[in-house]
Structure 1
Amino acid sequence: MFEDTLELAENKLLLLFIFKKIKFPVSNNQITQIILENNFINYFTLQQYLNELLSSNFLKYTDETGNHRLVITEKGIKVLSLFENRISEDKINAVEDYLNKEIKNIKKEVTITADYTLGKKGNFIVNLKAIENDSILIDIKLNVGSNKDAKDLCHKWKNNSSELYDKIIQLLIN
């Protein structure tokens, strides 16, 4: 039982460490992907730990851009600074290696969003958004006639948002 308690504590500290290292709010899906790709914790245990860290005010949700994102709190940073040495060096190295490789993709997912919903009369409302430093650069809502068009717009926005943003700005300025 003592080993289980130590493992629980280390895993929660590892989660806090990841949030501190990322330095910007991330979605539950993104933190889940990081944890599962590195085989640190299973999905159900991870969700339990996240809920417990939220309940203890070590993590909090931020909703500044209309999306629920998780971020470490000051209280979480304090606890981590006191007990960070209890996280195994192997796990710290694995997290740092993973984040060094994937941080650009994680940040892009946070700052570029594209989704669609079914609107009235069978059309689709597509929402394309780009955010930088918690400021919305562009937020476009389009009404399209088919699911295929909605998917295509979302795909193109996610893959070419910088280029499309520049073109839109140039069209509006000129």
Structure 2
Amino acid sequence: MYGNTAELAEDKLLLLYILDKIKLPISNNKLTEVILENNFINYFTLQQYLSELANANFIDYIEQEGKHRIIISKKGLTVLSLFGNRISDSKMHSVDSYLKKQINNIKNEISISADYTIQGNNYIVNLKALENDSILIDLKLNVASNEQAKQLCSKWKNNSSELYNNLFKVLIED
């Protein structure tokens, strides 16, 4: 099933390394995106490794703002500190380089959320921004159409900082 045990161990350590470097709870989807964009591990093997790391208590699944997130556990940090030297320099460099370019996008996606639900004939849009686990804004809007709901979510995800600042100014001004 696995190429060899050294490769298996390196791949699992690489996952722990990525979780340690990101330093934030991350969704399975976002972690999968990071792994697949760099061609480190295929999707099915990645999901198997995550399950095995969770069973060994090297990672934890937590719920944050109603969403499941993955974090490295204390036990995982210990294993990484003991065996992290088994990760190839080229893979560590690839991760470091990728995260250097993408960390702001990853953090933004983790701390900014926008979704909507249907209630009767209306759509309830929930726009949220977090900073260091503190809620900056949690705004719910009632809109009439699916298109409006999608548009609000898209604008919030792409420009939340400016929108938040503008809203804050409007509310503070006399």
**Shorter-chain-normalised TM-score: which range?**
over 0.9
Report the counterpart of residue 12 of structure 1 in structure 2.
12
| 8 Å Cα contact 1:16-1:72 kept in structure 2 | yes
How far apart, in 2, do the equivalents of 1:111 and 1:100 lie? 18
- In the alignment, does 2:163 pair up with 1:164? yes
Q: 1:3 to 1:148 in 2, by over 3 A?
A: closer
The residue number in structure 2 matching 1:106 is 106
What is the alpha-carbon distance in structure 1 between the residues aligned to residue 137 and residue 125 of structure 2?
Answer: 13
Amino acid paired to 1:169: F
Aligned residues: 173
Distance in 1 (alpha carbons) for counterparts of 2:96 and 2:166: 36
Tell me the TM-score normalised to structure 1 length: 0.94
Shift of 1:137: 0.5
1:65 and 1:136 in contact (8 A); partners too: no
Match of 1:173 in 2: 172
Match of 1:56 in 2: 56
Amino acid at match of 2:22: I
Task: Tell me which stretches of 4 or more aligned residues in structure 1 moved more than 6 Å.
Answer: none
Task: Give the equivalent residue in structure 2 for 1:144.
Answer: 143
CA distance in structure 1 between the aligned counterparts of 2:163 and 2:8, rounded to whole angstroms: 45
Amino acid at match of 1:95: V
- Secondary structure at the aligned position of 2:64 is classed as coil
2: CA distance, partners of 1:47 / 1:100: 25
Q: What secondary structure is seen at the aligned counterpart in 1 of 2:4? A: helix
1:19-168 mapped onto 2 (5 Å cutoff): 19-119=19-119, 121-168=120-167
TM-score by structure 2 length? 0.94
CA RMSD of superposed structures (Å): 1.4
The AA in structure 1 aligned to 2:151 is D
In structure 2, how many angstroms separate the alpha carbons of the residues matched to 1:42 and 1:129?
32
Q: Is the Cα contact below 8 Å between 1:125 and 1:141 reproduced in 2?
A: yes
Give the match's secondary structure for 2:25: coil
Which secondary structure state, in structure 2, belongs to the residue aligned with residue 75 of structure 1? helix
What amino acid is the match of 1:5? T
For structure 1, the residue ranges without an aligned partner over 5 or more in a row are none
Counterpart secondary structure, 1:24: coil
Matched-pair contact (CA < 8 Å) for 1:65–1:134? no
